Structures are given as structure tokens and as C-alpha cells.
Structure 1
Amino acid sequence: MNNRTPDPHAQEVVRLESVRKVYGGTMNAVTALDDVSIGLNRGTFTAVMGPSGSGKSTFLHCAAGLDRPTSGSILLDGVDLAPLGERELTKLRRERIGFIFQAFNLLPALSVVDNVTLPLRLAGQRPKLAAVDDVLERVGLGDRRNSRPGELSGGQQQRVAIARALITRPAVIFGDEPTGALDTYTASEVLTLLREAVEQSDQTIVMVTHDPVAAAHADRVVFLADGRIVGSLDRPTADQVAARLTHLGAWGSRTVAQQAGHEVLR
């Protein structure tokens, strides 16, 4: 008989605990994250939103191991990032994290296939043809494998970036405004691909966005203001997200934001 108490964090692929991030020195310190604690479960799609300067990008950079917090702890796929050196962090990011950026970040001289398989090659792994074919078919680029990025539309280039993020079967994919450079129709196609990755492949996605329509594709939308989490919505509509953002933008002080967040989270 198993009498062990279940670990409440067992399903969390990302865990931030009391994370603070302060930029600058004593005289010009700016607190980008202020005592942030949150867990993100495996197989979920989370959108992170907030007004300009709310800490969204810092949240993503710290959670993904691209920046180190001033204090607090971050666990990614069960690994504590704090004691890792730069080489170990690079290895972890390469093997367990996928990234999708607004600017696509493709190498123009490489074909679609070579761009997609680059993370595997950098890790010293030989790409498996079947896996490459599968991921290209999933993103609708099975017939463009030998094309260069310059021969593709913006939406197709972002599909290459999604395939590149998926090919290593990462523990989590972080997206930084992944639809910011796309038109409405193409953005919807890309978001549908991300949604399918969650539902069909149990992928975990964390996406920073300013777009309520994009956020409405997520399971949960987390709102930041003044470096703190001030509320969340589960499977909201775009109108609900937009309404919440309007209130966040109107809050002029941290005290008001904290009070509103307290009401939301009750």
C-alpha cells in the first residue's frame, strides 16, 4: 500500500517560487519581477499578458533560463536552474526548451529542413528522417523542405520556427509574441498549430502576447502588473481578456493592482 502524500507540484513542468528580478544598482534599481510564484502544468497552454513594463518579458526570460533572477527559485522539468553554470544552462535550453520568437530567427542560408534540425545538430544528435518528416507535415511544410526562408511567406517562416521548437520534443516551448509579425488570418493558423501541439502531443506552451485574440487560444491567461501576478482567467474569450487588460492599464499604482488581483484570485 502506498501511503506517500502526492506531490502537489508533480505535474508542473515550470515552477517559479518567490522570484524577484531587480535591474540596476542601489540608486536606480528597477524591480521587474516582485515575489512571483506560479506553477505551469505539463500539457497546458498559458498566455502571459500585462501593460507595457509589467514584467512579461522578464518573466519569460527568467522562466526559460535566459536570465537569472535576483532571488527566488525556478525549476524547469524538475531541474533547479540556480546552481547551473552557463554551459549547463545552454545544454538544458537546447535539450528541454523550444523557443518561438516574433522575428522567426531562421538562418537564411539554410533550407527548411536544416533550420528545423539545427537544434539537434548543435546537440550532437543525428536527426531521424521519420521525425523530421512528421513535424514538417504537422506544420504544413512537407512540400517546402528544401526551400530557403527568403522563399517563404511570414506565416510559413513561423511554421518553420514552430517545427524547430517541436523537433527536440522539449519539456516546454516559450513563445515571445509569436504572432506579432503576422496578419490576422496567418496568426490564427499559427495559434491553431500551437493549440494542436498541446492537445495532440501533450506539449507545454508558455506564450507572452499583447493580443487578446491570441491569448484566447490558451487554457489560462495570467496577468502581470508592476512585476506581480494580479489575476488569471481560465479559457476566456478575447473580449474577456481585452476587458481585463483595459482595467490593468487603468491601474495607476501597485497598491491598486494588488487589491484588484486579490479580488480576482479569491
Structure 2
Amino acid sequence: MNGTPSPYAHEVVKLDSVRKIYGGSKNRVAALDGVSIGLPRGSFTAVMGPSGSGKSTFLHCAAGLDRPTSGTVLLDGVDLGPLGEKELTELRRERIGFVFQAFNLLPALNVVDNVTLPLRLAGRRPNRSEVDEVIERVGLASRRNNRPGELSGGQQQRVAIARALVTKPAVIFGDEPTGALDTYTAREVLTLLREAVQWAGQTIVMVTHDPVAAAHADRVLFLADGRIVSALERPTADLVAERMTHLGAWGNESTAPRTSHGVR
């Protein structure tokens, strides 16, 4: 694979003047319009914005799932631009973990086999003690032989998080990881992601529409019309909701979600 990552690179993900254009000359849409941002190693970043603001495109370009029209994306020190599809696939497998709203588990495999699947796909022999540690960390030590159909939604998402952690990736991307969960279970999963940053030094980038979820992050980036228009350090759910309201993300007051404190 081209490119050698720098072990001293402070920013695990770096976007420089990234633009992503969809459509032709008559129906041209700039999903990302000159985005430049660096995401530090060992940090938890939430990405928010109104519908159509470019959140998913931001995640897809940052993770090498989509190629920007122009600009540069560096992941763990590697410039994604020159990489071919095979090299991109290898990089994603080795250095990126994904946690989606859909758990994407294989129903025929038990917890251990689902967790270790990325390692086996990469031709790496799972280290049993490391796998056991990750499964214990996510609270599933007693369910290791269960299949997804025997687990609750929250437990299935814990399997997905363990699967993302087991390869020790440079960064984990989450796309609405708590979107399919109830409030209590979502809080448990978010706490687990927060702990992964603390005990494993993991870097997490999470797209979400939920102010309570975003409040678990170190920093929230707000997108609008394909640009980063604001950022919030040490966020609270109330501050995030207020900022989103100013962006017009929820239209009028009747459609704005309430935070845990009842503030719209």
C-alpha cells in the first residue's frame, strides 16, 4: 500500500479543502464545500447539522468510502487520494472501524465469531486474550456463544463496537450508532464509546442528530450547506440543541427535540 503513516501524526484524520460535487452542470450540488479540519488522536468528535448539510458525505470521504471531487484526505498519515480501490479496501480493513445504525452482524455466527470476523478477513489470527478482553469490556463475556438473534438491540450494537475495536484501528467512524436504540440503551452504548477513548486511546468520529448523544463527545462540529460553520468544545445536550436551533436544523419550536432537561 502506498504511503507510510507517521507514528507522530497528532491528527488521525485530516481534511484539507475537501469538496464533493454531485450532479452535472444543471443540477450541481456541493455536498462538501471546502472543508478543512483535523481530528486529534484519542479524541471523540461528533458531527451534526440539518438534513442535507453534508454529514454523511463528510464521514464517507473521511473514511475513504467515497472520493472527494477535490482536496486532500489523510488518514493515519496516509493520503487517500493516490490509493487504488484494493489499497483503500486494505486500509479500511486495517485502520478503520465502523459502527452503523444497523448492526450488520452475521446471523449464523456467534458473538466471538462476529467480533473476530475482520481479523480473519484480513488473514490475521485472532489473539484469544485480546478478543476476550474486548468482549469483556463491552459487557458480553457471558453471551460470547450467543448468536445475534438471541441478543437485544443494545447487545448487538455492543458486538458491533467490539468488532470495531478488536483490530485496534486508528479511528472508529460511527454513523448514527444509537439511532435504532431506546434512550437507556443508547446511553449505555455512548458510555461504552466514551470509555473506549479513555481506556484504549481510541479516536472516534460520530455522525448523529441527537444532542444527548453529541454531549458524550469532546467536540461537536456543526455542518451547514457543506461547510463547517461552528464547533463546540466540551458540549452539553442543552448547548448542542441551542446551536442546532440557530442553524435552523429543526425548523420551528414544535419540531425541535427536547434534551434530557426539557430544553428545546
Could you state the TM-score of these two structures normalised by the residue count of structure 2?
0.91
How many angstroms apart in 1 are the aligned matches of 2:118 and 2:24?
36
Question: Aligned in 2, Cα 1:250/1:12: closer, same or farther, shift over 3 Å?
Answer: closer
The answer to whether the aligner puts 1:69 opposite 2:68 as a matched pair is yes
In the alignment, is the contact (CA less than 8 A) between 2:51 and 2:249 conserved in 1?
no
The answer to whether the aligner puts 1:183 opposite 2:182 as a matched pair is yes
What do the CA deviations read for 1:203-233 (whole angstroms, capped 9, x no partner)? 0000000000000000000000000000000
Cross-structure match for 2:11: 12
How many angstroms apart in 2 are the aligned matches of 1:205 and 1:68?
21
Cross-structure match for 1:105: 104
Cross-structure match for 1:249: 248
The answer to whether the aligner puts 1:47 opposite 2:51 as a matched pair is no
What do the CA deviations read for 1:235-264 (whole angstroms, capped 9, x no partner)? 111000000000111699xxxxxxxxxxxx
Question: Aligned in 2, Cα 1:99/1:251: closer, same or farther, shift over 3 Å?
Answer: closer
Q: Which amino acid aligns with 2:155?
A: Q
Cross-structure match for 1:152: 151
Shift of 1:40: 0.1
Q: How does 1:188-207 map to 2 (within 5 A)?
A: 188-207=187-206
What do the CA deviations read for 1:140-178 (whole angstroms, capped 9, x no partner)? 001111110000000000000000000000000000000
How many angstroms apart in 2 are the aligned matches of 1:236 and 1:176?
19
Q: Identity percentage over the alignment?
A: 82
Q: Which amino acid aligns with 1:223?
A: F
Secondary structure in 2 aligned to 1:143?
helix
Could you state the TM-score of these two structures normalised by the residue count of structure 1?
0.90
How many angstroms apart in 2 are the aligned matches of 1:251 and 1:94?
36
Cross-structure match for 1:229: 228
Question: Aligned in 2, Cα 1:195/1:152: closer, same or farther, shift over 3 Å?
Answer: same
Shift of 1:10: 3.2
Cross-structure match for 2:115: 116
Secondary structure in 2 aligned to 1:91?
helix
Q: Which amino acid aligns with 1:215?
A: A
Question: Aligned in 2, Cα 1:250/1:152: closer, same or farther, shift over 3 Å?
Answer: closer
Cross-structure match for 2:258: none
How many angstroms apart in 1 are the aligned matches of 2:187 and 2:226?
29
How many angstroms apart in 2 are the aligned matches of 1:219 and 1:79?
24
Question: Aligned in 2, Cα 1:103/1:246: closer, same or farther, shift over 3 Å?
Answer: same
* Structure 2, unaligned runs of 5 or more: 1-5, 252-264
How many angstroms apart in 1 are the aligned matches of 2:250 and 2:103?
33
What do the CA deviations read for 1:13-58 (whole angstroms, capped 9, x no partner)? 0000000000111121111000000000000000000000000000
Question: Aligned in 2, Cα 1:48/1:93: closer, same or farther, shift over 3 Å?
Answer: same
Q: Which amino acid aligns with 2:18?
A: V
How many angstroms apart in 1 are the aligned matches of 2:163 and 2:189?
14
How many angstroms apart in 1 are the aligned matches of 2:198 and 2:43?
8
Q: Which amino acid aligns with 1:178?
A: P
Tell me the matched-pair count: 245
How many angstroms apart in 2 are the aligned matches of 1:170 and 1:249?
35
Q: Structure 1 runs of 4+ off > 2 angstroms?
A: none
Q: Which amino acid aligns with 2:23?
A: G
How many angstroms apart in 2 are the aligned matches of 1:173 and 1:237?
22
Secondary structure in 1 aligned to 2:248?
helix
Q: Which amino acid aligns with 2:219?
A: R
